[in-house]
Amino acid sequence: MLEVIKKRRSVRAYKPKSVEEGKIKEILKAAMFSPSSWGTRAWEFVIVKDPKTRKALSEATPYSSFVKDAPVIIVVCYDTETGRKFKEDSSICAAHIHLEAVNQGLASCFVQIADADGPHGNAEAYVKELLGIPQNYRVQCLLPIGYAASELPEHSDSEYDESKIHYERFNQ
C-alpha cells in the first residue's frame, strides 16, 4: 500500500494515449468503496472524454489549464439532498480515485473546483452549467486521468517528520 502512496504525485502532463475502459471501471470502484458520512454514498461522477468539454473544463480556474491534456476527466459531484458532509465525503472519494489511478499505472491531480473562482466567475457554477449538473449537487474537484508524460520522483521516507507527531498530548 505505501508503495502506491509514495508513487502518487500530482501529475500535470499526460501522454495523448487513451485510457482503457477496464482501468476507469477499477478506479470508479475504488471511489465507490470510499467511506461516507452516515453511509450516504451521495457521490456522482461525470466522466468527460470529449476534447471540447475538456478544453472548457480547463478554463474553470487559474490552476486547471492542464486538464484538457488528460484523455479522461472524472468530475466528482455530490448530492446535498442525500449526503451530509460534502467536502469530507467527496475529498476522501477523490483520494481513492487518485490512488487507484496510480495502482493502474496512471496519473492524476486533484483540481479544486468548490470555493474556487476563475475567468468565468465562480468555478463550481461554471462547471455545473457546462455539464448540466442539477442545482442540488455540489462539485468538489476535477480529476484528470492519463498516462504521465514524464515520471515525477516518488515521495521519500525523508518526508516522514517525527516532530509532527505528538504522543498523548500536543507538545510545543
Ligand X SMILES: Cc1cc2nc3c(=O)[nH]c(=O)nc-3n(C[C@H](O)[C@H](O)[C@H](O)COP(=O)(O)O)c2cc1C
Residues of this chain that interact with ligand X (CB under 6 A) are: 9-10, 12, 61, 63-64, 109-112
Closest to ligand X by CB, 110 or 147: 110
Buried residues in 56-87 as b, exposed as e (16+ CB within 10 A) = bbbbbbeebeebbbbbbbbbbbbbeeebebbe
Closest to ligand X by CB, 5 or 22: 5
Residue 111 Cβ vs ligand X, minimum distance, rounded to whole Å = 4
Residue 100 Cβ vs ligand X, minimum distance, rounded to whole Å = 15
Residue 10 Cβ vs ligand X, minimum distance, rounded to whole Å = 3
Residue 24 Cβ vs ligand X, minimum distance, rounded to whole Å = 21
Closest to ligand X by CB, 36 or 61: 61
What does 19-57 look like in DSSP terms, one character per residue? PPHHHHHHHHHHHHTS--GGG---EEEEEE--HHHHHHH
Query: What is the spatial distance between Cα 44 and Cα 27, in angstroms, rounded to a whole number?
Result: 13
Query: What is the spatial distance between Cα 26 and Cα 102, in angstroms, rounded to a whole number?
Result: 11
Closest to ligand X by CB, 64 or 104: 64
